[in-house]
Amino acid sequence: MTINVAIIGSGPSGFYTADSLLKSDRDVQIDIIERLPTPFGLIRGGVAPDHQTTKKVAKAYEKTALKDAVAYFGNVEVGKDVTMDELRDIYDAIVLAVGAPTDRKLGIPGADKVGVFGSADFVGWYNGHPDFTDLNPDLNVGAVAVVGVGNVAIDVSRVLVKTPAEMAATDIADHAAQAVQASPVTDIYLFGRRGPIEAKFTNVELREMGKLENCMPIVHPDQLPDEVTGDWSDRDQRLKERNLATMREFLDVDPTGKGKNVHFEFFANPVEVLGSDRVEGLRVERTKVDGGRAVGTGEFFNIECGLVVAAIGYYSIPIEDVPFDSDNGIVVHQDGRVGDGVYAVGWIKRGPTGVIGTNKPDGDTAAKQIFDDVSSGEKAGRDALAAMLGERGVRVVNYADWQKIEAAEFAAASGDAPRRKFVTVPEMLAALE
């Protein structure tokens, strides 16, 4: 009998799992359930709009989605439109691929002031994720503080300082493009508690900061060590050496004609957001690194800024009836087995780390576990889900519907932009009328 598998979430981890399941010779039917009408998770809503080449991985996922054994149930939220218990009744296996959609909290005094955002919200806003269309951050500010020294912090900074010409061939949401272009911002401060060696940038992203049309990357020469020391793997050692070399090259970038600056502020720990009810600045403690940890030195300084974006990591949200490890922000599992025919992959399994490809082995593991655990399918699967959602009046967006939405986005694009994104669910559904 056909093994019926529900995959909850259509990001990389969900698609890699579907792909792995399809590679076996077992008789399997896969339903990918996604709360948004649009598929691909953070490929659409996280990866920076000016990194279109990275987003092309969705073309491979599309091939999987179009396989006969696969159906896409978009605009269906587990926990709202259908419960986990109901899915357990109708699927032989359920794979949680729901990612980590919220932010780790900044957790310093003043972090609740108007003008403080988490990167999940801010990135979602410029990428046209419907949850964040109304975020409306006030970019009428001269300076922005970005807390964190990883790739997301760089993405946020870059999107804020690129010129309209540099952003022309992107799919940044219209509302964000307008706000960024109208913004008088000249200075972005990136804060890292530890030093340049500990920063988590990948080299390609870091290098890009030295090639921007209207923006200077500013590093403090006295913060750059002569060499990379520490107990790193060979791979990390090489990456860190490359990053250090790149930061040295920043010292030679010609500032002529560059109206904006991104300041890399290492050994600097934000301790308080300053201002009345709105952000007016950030109080920062100078740190030193001791045994790999940042330790406060008792020396403080303030910077003026009107916006703070905390890019200090993502966090999953608990799923009803599934044990959650709140310390690590992941589901409780044993190498991906959550128990009772339920499996976890991607960021809900491992936490919010790694690149797109890091999710692939999770899919391979889950597929193997499912085939080890389930010898023959016993449950009703797709037809039962479709009937249940039909009775509830849920407007399911299937893959052909998504292709129509996408075609409308392509058709609405102007200039070099690859698409003009719909940014609300009603707009997306209206494109199907």
CB of 255 to ligand FAD, least distance (A): 28
- Choose between 81 and 285: whose C-beta lies nearer to ligand FAD: 81
To the nearest whole angstrom, how small is the minimum distance from the Cβ of residue 275 to ligand FAD?
26
Q: Which of 322, 412, 392 is nearest to 73 (CA)?
A: 392
Alpha carbon separation from 341 to 5, 10, 77, 125, 322 (Å, rounded): 10, 19, 20, 36, 12
State the minimum distance, in angstroms, from the CB of residue 423 to ligand FAD.
Answer: 15
Contact 43, 88 (CB under 8 A): no
In the complex, the smallest distance separating the C-beta of residue 57 from ligand FAD, rounded to whole angstroms, is 8
Q: How far apart are CA 190 and CA 146, in angstroms?
A: 5
> Could you say which DSSP state residue 126 is in?
H
Smallest separation, CB 123 to ligand FAD (Å): 4
Minimum distance of ligand FAD from residue 259's CB (angstroms): 26
Report whether 185 contacts 262 (CB < 8 A): no
Residues near ligand FAD (CB under 6 A): 8-14, 33-36, 41-42, 46-47, 51, 54, 77-79, 97-99, 101, 123, 152, 155, 314, 346-347, 354-356, 359
Residues forming a β-bridge with 187:
143, 261
Side-by-side strand order, sheet with 293-304: 268-274, 281-290, 293-304
**Percent composition of the chain: helix, strand, coil (DSSP 3-state, to 5):** 35, 25, 45
CB closer to ligand FAD out of 96 and 282: 96
Structure tokens at 196: 């340049």
Give the residue with the Cβ less far from ligand FAD, 115 or 363: 363
Minimum CB distance to ligand FAD smaller for 152 or for 176: 152
Nearer to ligand FAD, 73 or 266 (CB): 73
DSSP assignment, residue 374?
Answer: -
Question: At 127, which amino acid appears?
Answer: N
Least distance in angstroms from the C-beta of 313 to ligand FAD: 9
Q: Is the distance from CB of 311 to CB of 153 less than 8 angstroms?
A: yes
Rounded CA gap, 98 and 91, in Å?
A: 17
Helical (H) or strand (E) element with 87: helix 84-90
Shortest CB 76 distance to ligand FAD, Å: 7
Q: Which one, 158 or 260, has the nearer CB to ligand FAD?
A: 158
State which residue, 77 or 277, has the beta carbon closest to ligand FAD. Answer: 77
User: In the structure encoding, which two tokens stand for residue 123, read together?
Assistant: 């990135």
Considering beta carbons, is residue 39 or 110 the nearer one to ligand FAD? 39
Q: Find out whether 174 and 125 touch, Cβ atoms under 8 Å.
A: no
